[in-house]
Amino acid sequence: MHTLIESVSGIRGIFGAGLDAGVLVRYALAFGTWCRRRTGEANCTVVVGRDARVSGEICAQIVTATLRSVGINVVDAGLACTPTVAMGVLMERAQGGIILSASHNPEQWNALKLLNSRSEFLAPDEVLELQRLARNMEPPSHADIPIGSLRVRNFTDPHIEAICRLDFVDIKAIAERDFSVAVDGINSVGAIALPRLLKRLGVRSVHVINGDVSGRFAHPAEPLPEHLEGTMAFVRQVEADLGLVVDPDADRLALIDDNGCYVSEELTQVIAADFLWQRRTGPFVTNLSSSRAIDDLAARYGEKVHRSAVGEINVVKAMQAHEAVLGGEGNGGVILPDLHYGRDALVGAAIVLQQLADRGEPLSQYRQSLPAYVISKNKLTVDTPDEVLSAFADRHAARNISTVDGVKVNFDVGWVHIRKSNTEPIIRIYAEARTRASADDLARWAIVDIRQENP
């Protein structure tokens, strides 16, 4: 099966079966052209980095060579987290960035994740413009184009230093807690960056599992509890105070507490907001599929929460519109404008450590003070997702629904959100309630409803 998905989350597919050399060349040419047109600069620089997927090196070589062949200067970030490449774009004042990473997709997948000169993912209208360019793109035929330069720069340490310079990071306070922290690097770039960050923050005892940066993922890459039984056992085995789990490009952060119990990735952004709202005032932005826990927390502080469509750039645009002090997504993404407008597991980890250091209590105890919800996350393959969503909206139009992104049905006891995935050829069905049984019941109701109409 050949699969290529073009969305605000990038251009992704199975390497060699949808995402092939031709696609990489076509989109690299289009992106270089797009950067020049958008910035109006003839001398363009693009930062290129990748996660540790086996196909990553050759994909990066193809993209880099293509960009250089049309006069784009490339800064090679090498193995780097997605947020690190984003920081690199800002540090270099580059006209764009490309990350070769399919995030949480299986290891045979890869993707072009594209950043503009502000280090933000391309907005929907920008994606459409790029797609039009890519469809009609042909290599320039004239021979007077200079070859773009190639320079190598490691941005990981500068990224870490930028985090340590944030006004709320107190390295001495973190060090005094003498934390023991376990890291699941999922055999990718998080295994490089997170231990280095922790040591810089004064954590003396760092235990790494799945730290071989081979791109051969030891478990399914999405940091969900059903994938992390071994990691939770590891946290208990080494008696860590905290477990940090990332996806292959380290823009998502899930937590494991000191008892070796999974802390919902939905709570990563909630903990970050709880920390920051003690220091600043201002709204928070998250997406429609994120937990109501953030709304409950906002009520404690008298703050507002705004919702956007799913997709990091949709959250970012809403953050900018509402002048939010913080944002995120319930998949473990934390977006701190002080650093850059993108999800960043490294800054999320620093915030969590600082919060635990300031509170002087273990994560297992602290989580009891946070709003408690359960989300049931499900997938369904359908032949005509747009028709399915439209029909579902029509059937339930009398209910309290939102059609900003797919269909979200709000109930007093919880909600169900059904939408096309930006990253897989499926529809996602998320449901939330106070208990696992109630959340599963809501999800089951939606799935049965869809299947009755699409047997």
From the CB of residue 296, how many other CB atoms can be counted at a distance below 10 Å? 15
| DSSP bridge partners of 17 | 14
Sheet holding 374-380, edge to edge: 374-380, 427-433, 414-420, 407-410, 400-402
In this structure, the chain runs to a length of: 455
- Asked if residue 427 lies in contact with residue 418, where contact means CB atoms within 8 angstroms, the answer is yes
Euclidean distance between CA atoms 112 and 380, whole angstroms = 25
CA atoms in the 13 A half-sphere facing the CB of 357: 23
The β-bridge partners of 407 are 418
Determine the Cα–Cα distance for residues 64 and 81; give it in Å rounded to an integer.
Answer: 18
Residue 439 in contact with residue 292, Cβ under 8 Å?
no
CA-to-CA distance for 146 and 177, rounded, in angstroms? 55
Torsion of CA 118, 119, 125, 127, to 10 degrees: 150
Q: Count how many Cα atoms sit within 13 Å of the Cα of residue 338 in the half-sphere of its side chain.
A: 17
Query: From the centroid of its chain, how far is CA 58?
Result: 23
Residue among 101, 103, 376, 438 flagged as catalytic: 103
Is 308 a catalytic site residue?
no
One DSSP character per residue, 412-440 reads: SSEEEEEEE-SSSSSEEEEEEESSHHHHH
Contact assessment for residue 400 and residue 414, using Cβ atoms and an 8 Å cutoff: no
Dmax (CA) of the chain: 66
Which of the residues are catalytic?
103
